[in-house]
Every structure is written in C-alpha cells, then in structure tokens.
Amino acid sequence: MKTEHIILSIETSCDETSLSLIRSTKISDTEVSIEKISHIVHSQAELHAEYGGVFPALAKREHASNLVPLMLELIKETEGKGESVFVNTGAKELNEKINLDIKNLLDREPELYDNIVRHLIGWQGNIDAIAITQGPGLEPALWVGINFARALGLLWGVKTVPINHMKGHMISALFSPEKSSLISPLFPILGLLISGGHTEIISMSDPDTFSLVGKTRDDAVGEAYDKVARLLDLPYPGGPEIARLALEARERNLVSEAELPRPMINTNDYDFSFSGLKTAVLYAVKDKELSSEEKMMLAGEFEEAIVDVLTHKLSKAYKEYMPSLCVVGGGVAANTYLRERLIQSLKEVQSDAEIYFPTQELATDNAFMIALALAFNISFGERSIEELAEDEIKATGNLHITS
Ligand code: KG4
Ligand code: ZN
C-alpha cells in the first residue's frame, strides 16, 4: 500500500480563503510525517468588519475572485522549494470535453471559469487527492470552494474528497509542529470544539467514528464573544479583542461589580447555553457610557464566565468518558487563558491527564487542517482515497461531525 501522498486542500467555509499542499508519509501505525509544502490563508475579516459579522454574498464573491490568484501563489511557492508537484506543459487550450465539463460546473461562477482558463490551463498538478471542506459553514461560500476543487480535479484527473470542517479543527490538535507529524492516539479521545458556529463536546472512538456528548442549545461560544464585543463597541472578530481586554483586567486586578451568570454549569448533561450570558451583558451596558476600565472589567467577567462553564463541563465529561486524551479545536481554542484553565482543571481530575491544542495559527480557519484530516483518515482509518472520494459533492451548511 502506498504510504506517501501529496494532498492539496481548499477551505472556504467562512471568511478565510485558504489553500495548502502537504506531503504525508506514514512512518508507523501511530505516526504520519507531515511536510507542509505550502500554506496560504487569506483573511477577509477586514472587509466583513464593516458589517459587524460575515456577510455571505461578499464572502462568496471574494472566494471566487481570490482562489485562482492564491492557487498561482501556491504553485510559485511550491516551485520555489524545488518541488516538481506542478509542471507547466505549455498547453494553451483545454481538451474539448474537459473544457465543457468545467464550464458546466462553473456555470454560476463565470469569473472563476475565466480565471482558470486564463491562468491555470498550462499547469498540471501531480497530486494524489484534493481535500475540500464540504461543511459546516456558509453554503454560498462552501459551494465556490467545492466547485473550484472539482474543476481542478477535472483539469488534472485527481480525486476530490469531501472533508468535515469540524473534523479538521479536531485533528489539528493532533499535529505536532516540533516533530512535524500527526499522531494517532489511543481511543477514545474527547474533543471540545469551540468556534464561531459551534460549541460541542465530541467523543471519537476510532478515526471514522464520532459521537455527540453535548452541544450548545443556542449561541456558539465564539458567537457570544463576537456579540459581546459588539455591545462593547469592539471590532469584528470580537474574540481576540475581548481576550485582550480581559487579560488587561486580570493583570490590573480589575474586578467587575456586575456578576454574570454561568449558564447551565450545574445541569446534569454536557450541553451549553450562551445567549443568556450575552443578554446579561446587554443589561449591564444598557444606557451607560462605559469607561475603558469598565469595559475591561466586563470583558474579564464575561471571559471568566465562559471559561468557568467550559472547564467545568469538559472535566465532568472527562470523568465519565475517561479518554486517553482531550483535544480542543476551533477559533476560540486560540484563547490562552482558556488553555491554561483547561489544563489546570483536567489536572485536578487526573494528575496525568493530557490535553492537546492546535498552534495559534491552526486554531482559526485554515486549509492545512483540512489536509491533515484527510492524511489522518487515509493513514489510520479503514478507507482509501478512492473510497473516500466523491464525484458530486454537495455543500452542506449544517453538516454534522457525527454524520
Ligand atoms: O474556527 P473559526 O476561525 O471559524 C469558525 O469556524 O467559526 O472561529 C472563529 C471564532 C470567532 O467567533 C472569533 O471571535 C473566535 O473564534 N476567536 C476567539 C479568539 N480568537 C478567535 N475567541 C476567544 N479568544 C480568542 N483569542
Ligand atoms: Zn472553523
């Protein structure tokens, strides 16, 4: 069985257009070496900031106009490393059938079609698979990435494999940047997935099997950060802004007078609810002109409430599931205070409990994690690229990790 694979991955589920190219080499039953050949993340956050959140039609348009230029950047970077993954054949025209297939596929993305014809025709990609985010995310944004991936698949005769974005977040924590490898842990593992659209605890019992332990009943934790940031007049995305103010409040020992609720902290399940917390902040700021210290204190208390709930629920799940390790993934996993508190609270449950986090760069949306998820599956799972590949991939906004 082939142990080395070149994987191109594409991520367009929200407001990051991202591409990556990796070489994965299985070196043992529990380790796959990962060579990051190229990784590009183009954030549209500044464009969306004006709307205070992601504007789907704008995200779609931006992905459509940026994908080909970013692909050319990836090809250039790859060539610069002396890799011969992409070869320029000098061809000026497409085979008639392939041209027609790509044209039909990109019927609703004429700009993307023109860009492909103009800039990518001469290039041949010698890769083993294209990993593409199928969902969850914004469907118009997902569709552009999927159609682009399928067009490249037709152009180069390469299989396209749909990948669940949340699985990418979960697997990103199993990548060790020091060793540049991905490990397969002993199962089960427990995942805390916390992003702008999701808050859930997932149990993974083998590389292909995920089950839901608990989830938010309303807002996701990243969404709560973003909404509270808006209430405090902070720019989008709000997570890093709140985290910065909360850090300053902790450093200066500024403690809020308003005590915010810790929703569902003591319920007998693993579910969450954050919309009441946001409403409590709304009442705390209503009709008031807050000083910068007051904003800091409120941000600090809000972060404290979030971290209390997340640490409490993950520790409780740890006691019941006794996993070999916990992983944390998603944009909110970038939060350093949350990381410290999660480590500390699991240690209190079991002194040698292990918890892995993605690097800061891999916590928020990126294509590298999508390539990692495929590398993980073909190296440690039951199915090959051929079995995982699909000809027709449907963007699925609410795709669940357990499906
Ligand atoms: O995973 P991600 O990049 O996109 C989604 O799949 O949603 O997560 C984005 C979310 C946003 O809500 C953002 O405010 C939050 O992650 N975030 C943070 C931090 N960095 C990003 N939240 C808290 N603290 C942070 N340092
Ligand atoms: Zn995400």
Pocket test for ligand 1, best of 169, 245, 332 (most atoms within 8 A of CB): 332
Q: Single out the residue of 400, 357, 392, 401 nearest to residue 105, CA to CA.
A: 392
Q: Closest Cα to atom 16, ligand 1: which residue?
A: 331
What is the CB neighbour count within 10 angstroms for residue 179?
11
Q: Closest Cα to atom 3, ligand 1: which residue?
A: 364
Give per-residue pLDDT as tens, 330-382: 999 999 999 999 999 999 999 999 999 999 999 999 999 999 999 999 999 99
Nearest ligand for residue 15 CA: 1
Which atom of ligand 1 has the smallest separation from the CA of 223?
12
Beta bridge partners of 215: 200
Residue 356 and residue 194: Cα distance in Å, rounded?
14
Beta carbon of 12 within 6 Å of any ligand 1 atom = no
Residue 29 and residue 144: Cα distance in Å, rounded?
36
Give per-residue pLDDT as tens, 273-325: 999 999 999 999 999 999 999 999 999 999 999 999 999 999 999 999 999 99
Give per-residue pLDDT as tens, 92-102: 999 999 999 99
Tokens standing for residue 6:
């070149």
What percent of the chain has a predicted confidence (pLDDT) above 70?
Answer: 100
DSSP single-letter state for residue 195: S
What does pLDDT average to over the chain?
97
- Write out the DSSP string of 119-172: HTTTEEE--SEEEEEEESS-HHHHHHHHHHHHHHHHHHT--EEEEEHHHHHHHH
Tokens standing for residue 145:
């990435």
Tokens standing for residue 325:
């390790």
Beta carbon of 184 within 6 Å of any ligand 1 atom = no
Q: How far is CA 151 from CA 92, 147, 157, 232, in A?
A: 17, 6, 10, 44
What is the CB neighbour count within 10 angstroms for residue 82?
6
The values of phi and psi at residue 258, to 5°, are -75, 125
- Residue 351's SS3 state is coil
Give per-residue pLDDT as tens, 253-281: 999 988 999 999 999 999 999 999 999 99
Beta carbon of 240 within 6 Å of any ligand 1 atom = yes
Which atom of ligand 1 has the smallest separation from the CA of 16?
3
Beta carbon of 154 within 6 Å of any ligand 1 atom = no
Q: Single out the residue of 342, 377, 372 nearest to residue 357, CA to CA.
A: 342
- Residue 355's SS3 state is strand
Beta carbon of 121 within 6 Å of any ligand 1 atom = no
Rounded to the nearest angstrom, the distance between the alpha carbon of 168 and the centre of ligand 2 is 8
Q: Please state whether the peptide bond connecting residue 263 to the residue before it is cis, i.e. omega within 30 degrees of 0.
A: no
Give yes or no for a contact between 14 and 41, defined as CB atoms under 8 angstroms apart. Answer: no
Q: Single out the residue of 314, 379, 369, 374 nearest to residue 344, CA to CA.
A: 314
Q: How far is CA 43 from CA 50, 56, 366, in A?
A: 14, 14, 10
381 sits in the region (left: phi over 0; alpha: psi -120 to 50; else beta) called: beta
Asked whether residue 251 carries a pLDDT value surpassing 90, the answer given is yes
Which atom of ligand 1 has the smallest separation from the CA of 197?
7
Residue 164 and residue 319: Cα distance in Å, rounded?
28
Residue 108 and residue 124: Cα distance in Å, rounded?
25
* Model pLDDT, residue 257: 87
Residue 43 and residue 74: Cα distance in Å, rounded?
16
Report pTM.
Answer: 0.97
Give yes or no for a contact between 374 and 134, defined as CB atoms under 8 angstroms apart. Answer: no
The pLDDT confidence band at residue 403, using thresholds 50, 70 and 90, is: confident
